[in-house]
Amino acid sequence: MPHYHFVLKTRDDLIPDRDGSEWPNDAAAQEEATLVAQDLMRNQEAKRGSWRIEVRDQNLLPRAELLFAEIDQTIAHLPPELREPHILASRRIAAFSDALLAVRKTLSEVMETLSRSDAVMAVVAGKRG
Amino acid sequence: MPHQIEIARHSPISPTTPIADSQAGKVNGCLSALSSHAFSLLKPFLTEVVLHEGTILWDPNKRSADVYFPVSGLVSILIDASDGVSVEVASICGQAAVGTIFELDQSDFSTQAVVQVGGHFLRMPSPQLLLAAKDNSEIQNLVTYCRDWIFMQAQQTAACNAVHTAEKRFCRWLVQAYERMETDNIRVTQEIIAALLAIRRTTITLTAQKLQIEGLIQYRRGKITVLDRVRLRAAACECCDSLSRQHWPSTRLLALRAPKLRV
């Protein structure tokens, strides 16, 4: 049976699913992602509309991404002209969160590189001395 | 497939047998809170047993004729919701006792009790406990407090399930488990916790992963270790406070005896 991983993307974090689990096909994995999203946003629907679950296959390649706002049952009864702006805003917040995460990651890598270069420079300076 | 109850010591415990888990040095709080006279009324009927994870103490089709005093381990009382899903409404550890005599006596409304964390238990026949309760007010209080404890938890759980998030409920379950079992190492699988809280196992996996990244817990297959009690409690819902130590049957029994003990 195919193996899938469900990655949770909140506004501040990316939570990996290291072990993953087996599901018959992509559709079943996406159904699981929907149920997990409903678990995680229950009673916090307004705040967590921009959270997402990314379904990845056994090679960790993305197969689907689910935006919580799109499956929010508490706004399912609203007409599209009221639902769509909320979904659009949630999607934009999600994109902004991705950008912030990327910046944080780059900064972390730069700090690490600088730290390594300090160590190298210290050795070089020692040899010259 | 449920495990069968395995009796470690089939005969009643001898007068020299300590009411303790020999490995962890634990006691059942309710029994140790009784005066020596009250305890002497129950002692002849107590049998020490080891119950493994998955042991069913009773279900809607078969009520239990015994009462169990956990020394270590944890028992969940479950309500069958629908489609084979059973949700936990109360958990019983070493501060209380568990048995159908503490439940509602309604033939068409019944619960199931399952050992979720295996351990040592002291077992006695329910009729003997009820008989002793007629003659002794301390034992009567024990029965009342254990009954109260189940109803308090059921009421709080109903509210908790209705309004709190999956993460807060998961943290609440862990806090209650470490407080009541008095250990930071909780031998339980994510599958079991997910079933008890009626949420997806993947939800528990992701939540546990988040807590692990934040340094609150560490989990391996079948075992969760609490690393930071203070932060875990802060991450849990307020239900932890509503069901805290002062409400435990053992604490209430001790509080009743406290004035006499001071004299």
Check B166 against A42: CB less than 8 A apart.
yes
* Contacts with B209 from chain A: Cβ below 8 Å: 15-18
Closest C-alpha to B171, from B228, B88, B246:
B228
CA distance A59 to A43: 34
CA distance B141 to B144: 5
Check A21 against B201: CB less than 8 A apart.
yes
Closest C-alpha to B212, from B190, B197, B227:
B227
**Sheet strands side by side (includes B66-70):** B47-51, B119-125, B66-70
Cα B164–Cα B170–Cα B176 angle in degrees, nearest 5: 105
Domains and CATH numbers, chain B: 29-156 (2.60.120.10), 165-236 (1.10.10.10)
Q: Which residues is A21 bridged to in the sheet?
A: A4
Please give the structure tokens belonging to residue B29.
Answer: 């709080």
Amino acid code (one letter) for A112: E
Q: Average of pLDDT values for B235-255? A: 90
Q: ipTM value of the model?
A: 0.83
Q: Residue B2: what pLDDT?
A: 35
Q: Which residues is B78 bridged to in the sheet?
A: B88, B112
Percent of chain B at pLDDT exceeding 90: 58
Residue B119 above 50 pLDDT? Answer: yes
Q: Average of pLDDT values for B230-239? A: 93
Confidence grade of residue A16 (pLDDT, cut at 50, 70, 90): very high
Q: Nearest C-alpha of chain A: how many angstroms from B133?
A: 44
Phi-psi region of A51 (alpha: psi -120 to 50; beta: other; left: phi over 0): beta
CA distance B220 to B218: 7
Instruction: Count other Cβ atoms within 10 Å, centred on residue A77.
Output: 8
Q: Average of pLDDT values for B30-48? A: 94
> What are B145-204's pLDDT values in tens digits?
999 999 999 999 889 988 999 999 999 999 999 988 888 999 888 888 998 898 999 999
Per this entry, what is the length of chain B? Answer: 263
* Contacts with B163 from chain A: Cβ below 8 Å: 43
Give Cβ neighbours of residue B223 (< 8 Å, ≥ 6 apart). Answer: B185, B186, B187, B188
* Contacts with B166 from chain A: Cβ below 8 Å: 39-40, 42
Confidence grade of residue B109 (pLDDT, cut at 50, 70, 90): low
DSSP-assigned states of every residue in A61-95:
-EEEEEEGGGG-GGGTTS-HHHHHHHHHHHHHHHH
Instruction: Count other Cβ atoms within 10 Å, centred on residue A104.
Output: 11
Check A15 against B206: CB less than 8 A apart.
yes
Residue from A42, A66, A68 whose CB has the most chain B CBs within 10 Å, to mutate: A42
Check B205 against A19: CB less than 8 A apart.
yes
Confidence grade of residue B249 (pLDDT, cut at 50, 70, 90): very high
pTM score of the predicted model: 0.80
Residue B100 above 50 pLDDT? Answer: yes
Q: Residue A129: what pLDDT?
A: 64
Q: Residue B8: what pLDDT?
A: 40
Which residue has 């069968």 as its token pair? B4
CA distance A84 to A49: 12
Check B164 against A32: CB less than 8 A apart.
no
Confidence grade of residue B217 (pLDDT, cut at 50, 70, 90): very high
On whether the CB atoms of residues A42 and A36 are closer than 8 A, the answer is no
Average pLDDT, chain A: 92
Interchain CB contact of A127 with B (< 8 Å)? no
Average pLDDT, chain B: 85
On whether the CB atoms of residues B196 and B116 are closer than 8 A, the answer is yes
Instruction: Count other Cβ atoms within 10 Å, centred on residue B260.
Output: 8
> What are A40-65's pLDDT values in tens digits?
999 888 899 999 999 999 999 999 99
Residue B12 above 90 pLDDT? Answer: no
